[in-house]
Chains A and B, each alone.
Chain A
Amino acid sequence: MIEETPEWAAIAATRQGLYRTFGRALLPPDPGLTETLRAAAEYLEEQDLTRFAFYPQWLAFRGALIEVPSDEELAVMYVRLFASGVDGALCPPTESWYKTDARIGGTAELLAALEADYRALGLAAVGTAEPPDHASTQLEAMSALCGQEAEAWRARQDPDAAAALDRQDRFLRTHLATWFGDFAARVRGSDQNGWYRAVTETVDAFVVSEVDLVRALRRQMGAA
């Protein structure tokens, strides 16, 4: 039994907030988006983010938040990059675009498998207009899994925390971490303004560090 675990509960809760914030940043923008993100970033900054290897990229995100384009510009950029264009979106924010061939039905297979994975994790995508393989949906799913972990730590239920970490590890390695890097690279080459480039580069760095942290922590718990 590991007795002093609130530290990891706080870390899991912070990670939950990071995933949620980043997921929100990649949703279609609405008039309140900038203020919401600034408030979330301010709160998260108080949670000792210097513990995380991606902190330099977080600082870049904070820097980008200072000069977010106007709501109108954001809306145009979002559509141009992620929603539509002459030949479709420049950088589709969906897993299926990077991992399947829509012409042979791969998209449907992936979405069906993803829905099954959500169900197995005890999650369901409700109240969102985005598809289940959208970056924001997957980031929100990871947020929920971190919430489960934080709850387990607080209740001092180490096996439950370990199980939550296993679920995160599986979801990251099966879905989010397998395509987000390619997506971020595509945005890097397409976003002239810089806001979405800053967001996706920060999230990419965060996801990379998450894959390492979750696996290492799980292994450490196994050894404890």
Chain B
Amino acid sequence: MTIAVLMCSDGLNTTAAERLAGSPVRLIDGLCHHPEAVTNLEDDVDGLVLVLHREEIAAADVQAQIRAAGLDPLGVPMLDAAEFTEPADRLQVAVEGAVARAAAFPGSAPAHAKPVFPTRLTRRSLFTIPQPVYVGAPAIDSLMCAAADGCTMCVGVCPQDAHTWVEGRIVYDKDVCEPCGRCITACPTGAITNPAATPAAIAAEIEAVTVAADGPIGVAFRCRRSNLAATADGWHAVEVPCTGMVTAPWVVAPLLLGAAQVAVLPCSTTGCDRALDAHAREAVEFAGDVLEALGVAPDRVGLDTAPISHQSLPAVPVADPFSARAAARVYAGLRMAAESGAVTITGGAAMLGIVTIDAEPCTMCTMCTQICPTGALAAAYADDGFLTISFDPVECTACDQCVGVCPEVERGAIAVEHRVDFAALASGRIDLNRSKTHTCERCGQPIAPTAMMDRISDVLGDDQQALMNRLTRLCLACRGAS
């Protein structure tokens, strides 16, 4: 795959320009004001990286030229040339990252693009409506979405109420969405994607910059709307739709890809007004707790680009570390890198959970297994006529929906503790509860678990025993036929 890199050379000092000669970066005078040069790419170019002065460009014009070149603007990383006027080494590292990101771009459709009108005021903009710029927006794969089972995770986390659950499907209102990506990292099935910031592209970028850097490098997640012009020496900024989408496993994952330190730059430090800081802070705090529990310096992660004071951890290959349900893999990889024993770390941002069921109040209605979007909770009939509810901690994302749907939750039937429990993760699927099942005297089909029948009997009281006898003897179909 061939990725071209074009850089506006305006303002670049001679030394830096000379050092870039021979690199993949092609310098073009005045590119920011004449983006039509983008259309002069060779035919074999599959992707593009632009290094432009962001404050000076007409972004809509640049996007139009990218389309004219037969490429997709959402798949063209744009670095700010203002950040790279002198240190050519840092630019080359950033370019390697951007090239890897461009190569991992999966393509997009109009459903993924949201028109946004520039908020920057210019003299001209006072008298005319500017052209819109298209930004990446999430789209939902209905085949992967678990809304039909009752999942509403995206609905719950969206700060703009852009998602609504309607009769077993999610209705997404792109118009009110200000793509922050919270729904993407909250979705337990990975059904929501934004092609401008896919898990694969983010992993590819980080991997590339850690390989390209001469020494230890820090990775700083930065909001795409950030007004931070530069990152500190030794750091590379990875743009995400919003740092509020960054989870604790995301904070840890770059360490496994070779980063020495990780920062999540909160909205309040970057000029972004979304005020989703609390999520970023919680994620960083929990990641620090995990590091500490595993004997790794917790100051490897933070909310600012502190001086680089650590070497990289031993690299541990982890498949798709930023994808949905990667938390168990990421934490296990960190434990391997740290050569630590099994520990337990509890916290709301774990993205992993341990479900417990109290057999006494649980009626085995299995609603928890039906809503579980990942299959962590599962129900199965055994040959001996028992119904079993089992749990696999590796699959649990601590979404808590099993608790929300449990009709006996007030009696303490089910609970989820948000924690990373390495011993539990290693033990695999376990049975949480089982109950004998009443079977139909006539057709032999299961009627309901004994635990549920006992609960119904309690509710109905002694004077309804005749009804109970009938309920426990015949299934619904045979009752209707009799």
Contact = CB atoms under 8 A, between A and B. Distances in A.
Interface residues of A, number: 28
A50 B68 CA distance: 6
Contacts of A212: 110, 113-115, 174-175
B110 A205 contact: yes
A97 B477 CA distance: 36
Contacts of B226: none
B128 A3 contact: yes
B455 interface: no
Interface in B110-145: 110-111, 113-117, 124, 127-129, 131-132, 134
Interface in B299-351: none
Contact of A216 (B68, B111, B116): B116
B110 A221 contact: no
Interface string A128-159: 00000000000000000000000000000000
A213 B68 CA distance: 19
Interface in A179-224: 205-206, 208-209, 212-213, 215-217, 219-221, 224
A5 interface: yes
B72 interface: yes
Contacts of A8: 129
Given A53-B110, A208-B110, A5 B128 contact: yes
A209 B67 contact: no
B60 interface: yes
A56 B129 contact: no
Given A5-B128, A56-B72, A209-B110, A51 B64 contact: yes
Contact of B129 (A53, A208, A209, A224): A224
A213 B129 CA distance: 13
B243 interface: no
B467 interface: no
B210 to A, nearest CB: 33
Nearest to B134: A53
Contacts of A216: 114-117, 132, 175
A46 interface: no
A23 B117 CA distance: 29
A87 interface: no
A5 B128 CA distance: 6
**Most chain B CB inside 10 Å of its own CB: which residue of A55, A57, A213, A221:** A55
A216 B131 CA distance: 11
A59 B110 contact: no
Interface in A1-21: 2-5, 7-8
A3 to B, nearest CB: 5
A221 B128 CA distance: 10
Nearest to B111: A208
A221 B64 contact: no
A61 B384 CA distance: 61
Given A217-B115, A220-B129, A221-B129, 15 more contacts: A2-B128, A5-B128, A7-B131, A51-B60, A57-B109, A57-B110, A59-B70, A208-B109, A208-B111, A209-B110, A212-B114, A212-B115, A215-B175, A216-B115, A224-B129
Interface of A: 2-5, 7-8, 48, 50-51, 53-57, 59, 205-206, 208-209, 212-213, 215-217, 219-221, 224
Closest 8 CB pairs of A and B: A4-B128, A209-B110, A50-B64, A50-B67, A216-B115, A208-B110, A53-B113, A55-B67
